[in-house]
Amino acid sequence: MNDRFQLIVIGAGPCGIAVGAAAKKAGASCVLFDKGCVTSSLMSYPYYMTFFSTAVMLEVGDVPFTIPDAKPSRREALAYYRRVVERWEMDVRQYQEVTSVRGREGDFTLETRKADGTEETYHAASVVVATGIFDEPNLLGVPGEDLDRVHHYYHEPYAYHDQDVLVVGAGNSAVESALEMFRNGARVTMVHFLDKIDRGVKPWVVPDITNRLERGEIGVHWNSRVVEIRASSVILRDEATGTDTEIHNDFVVAMTGWRADHTPLRALGVEIDPETGIPTHDKCTMLTNVPGLYIAGVIAAGHNANKIFIENGREHGELIVSDVLTASGGG
């Protein structure tokens, strides 16, 4: 078994795949590891989601993303990125988690664990961390958040039919899930700490949610936060007045975003800005302050995940591989 590579990529999402495609294109030996499946982050998206961008903006590895409509669905994207892996004959080790990374440029050692518990060791001259931000949700940090009726993922509306549902947040995920649950028979209320929906909400969705809110078909508490979740109710606090309001509730769908797990990066000595959460790196090469260690994709955006998407994160692959080959004398 070959256990030595020029490049090891941790994470097989779209941006990790972009690195793998760039490596194959350049003739560099490369393997990708993922604790889940290929593009496991997309598996967490709502089942019927449509991307904001056109298909061409999501392409990686010079593989055309051809669909009948202008904007691809989650299902089409899942199929597309698997075609990219097959087209480039990438070595992707699914359900094999990287448990530790140690060493230095030119001689990194990675320990991995397969789903059956088997442990293996690999070596690489350079390592890319492309693990995304779907490791941990941004928790509300309130009593009762650990109740089974509190969900940080949203897939489809049918479990919420004829139920009182509180949607926390007012970004794309919150707005789209609220509308979908409303249309499928849920009694939906939204709560947001600001006084309007987020500016980044898809423009074709804004009139729909605005109309529903104005008509009272979807309830809303602006300038408010959840302060406690009880067995069958939620306590909301008005930010301006400090007044608490208790509302009956069957489910809480907290669409508050996600954050990256920086523990592996910190363990390797990567400096993380305490305010922004951005790992120290060169934007031209994606090289961190640790020689031979790179980052790719949304993990480079820190706490503001809206700065890096597939559309611009896919560019990291070429930058990284070019620098790896230059550093090794092969570029």
> What is the mean pLDDT of the segment spanning 150-171?
96
Quick one: pLDDT at residue 11? Answer: 95
Residues 21 and 120 in one domain: yes
Write out pLDDT tens, residues 61-110. 999 999 999 899 999 999 999 999 999 999 999 999 999 999 999 999 99
The per-residue pLDDT for 330 is: 63
d(CA 311, CA 297): 10
3-class DSSP assignment, residue 266 = helix
Please check whether residue 308 is in contact with residue 295, taking contact to mean a CB–CB distance below 8 angstroms.
Answer: no
Q: Within this chain, do residues 211 and 159 fall inside the same structural domain, yes or no?
A: yes
Find the domain containing 148 and state its range: 139-254
- Domain check: are 263 and 129 in the same one? yes
Answer yes or no: is pLDDT of 123 > 70: yes
Q: Residue 331: its pLDDT value, please?
A: 57
State whether 129 and 262 are in the same domain: yes
Q: What CATH code is carried by the domain that includes residue 115?
A: 3.50.50.60
Q: How high is the pLDDT of residue 227? A: 98
3-state secondary structure of 198: coil
> SS3 of 234, please?
strand
pLDDT at 221: 98
Q: Which of 110-124, 153-167, 192-206 has the lowest mean pLDDT?
A: 192-206
Structure confidence at residue 288 (pLDDT): 98
Helix residue spans in 1-114 (DSSP H): 14-26, 40-43, 74-87
Judgement on whether residues 109 and 53 belong to the same structural domain of the protein: yes
One domain for residues 194 and 83? no
Distance CA 228, CA 236 (A): 7
**Residue ending a domain, choose from 197, 226, 254:** 254
Provide the number of structural domains found in the chain.
Answer: 2
pLDDT digits (tens, 9 = 90+) for 196-246: 999 888 888 999 999 999 999 999 999 999 999 999 999 999 999 999 999
Q: How confident is the model over 1-56, as pLDDT tens digits?
A: 669 999 999 999 999 999 999 999 999 999 999 999 999 989 888 888 888 889 99
Q: Please state, in angstroms and rounded to a whole number, the distance separating the CA atoms of residues 18 and 243.
A: 50
Identify whether residues 191 and 237 lie together within a single domain.
yes
What pLDDT score was predicted for residue 327? Answer: 81
Same domain, 67 and 118: yes
Same domain, 120 and 227: no
Contact 84, 17 (CB under 8 A): yes
Out of 70-79, 163-172, 297-306, pick the least confident: 297-306
Last-in-domain residue among 254, 273, 296: 254
DSSP string of 86-131, one letter each residue: HHTT--EETTEEEEEEEEETTEEEEEEEETTS-EEEEEEEEEEE--
- Count the Cβ atoms, other than its own, within 10 Å of residue 106: 13
